[in-house]
Amino acid sequence: MVRLHKPLLSEYQYYHVSHIAGCDHAGAGAIAGPIVGAAVILPHAFYNEILGNTQTLTIPIHLYGIIQQHAVAWSIAMVDHIAIHSMGIPNAAQLAIHNALDQLKTLPNLLLVSGRSFDGYKTIPHQCIPQGDKIYTAISAANILAKVYRDRYMEILDKDFPAYGWKKNKGYATPAHKQVIKQFGGTLYHRKNFNKKEK
């Protein structure tokens, strides 16, 4: 279960424009796998219909389809391990969000981006919101899309690399995951610091 400390806010209560895109990414803190970005434009009434009066939500996968069904527009983009190795994690995370925005079918008037820094996207105004997925519905929706999509992708990779436990740890640095790397070395999907066997 995902427990919210307080109800999420509707972004349209505070920003009076027609289309606001919430943006977030998943996987930047992992040691294996891609970074996935997502952008979501919710209808003005979405907060009241889905998140209005509850402190407890079911597992995010429950909302994955609901968000896609009700959103004005949504998109998901993945930046793979090759690009992460080439440009580094911060740039790859931003690229994932940029690529997601490129795919939106509706042009937003404003971007709300989870985090403390963002270089901007085209000429669309943006605002960075630290831990924005815990504050605004659109950012939370983007976080859920990015996380669930990435989790599913890691479960697929797990079939080829079952020893690393990606079905369970999703590529994050659990003690068991790090122990397997120490014993056998990493894979091509691991970040540079974790793709070699310790001697």
Evaluate if residue 198 carries a pLDDT over 60: no
- Domain 2-158 fold is Nucleotidyltransferase; domain 5 (3.30.420)
Taking the domains of the chain in order of start, what are their residue ranges?
Answer: 2-158
The per-residue pLDDT for 197 is 56
Over residues 166-193, mean pLDDT: 94
The answer, yes or no, to whether residue 47 has pLDDT greater than 90, is no
Give me the chain's average pLDDT, please: 89
* pTM score of the predicted model: 0.90
Res 173: pLDDT: 96
pLDDT at 50: 53
Residue 192 has pLDDT above 90, yes or no: no
C-beta contacts of 148-152 below 8 A and 24+ residues apart? 148/60, 148/61, 148/64, 149/26, 149/36, 149/38, 149/76, 149/78, 150/26, 150/27, 150/33, 150/34, 150/35, 150/36, 150/78
Instruction: Find out whether 64 and 144 touch, Cβ atoms under 8 Å.
Output: yes
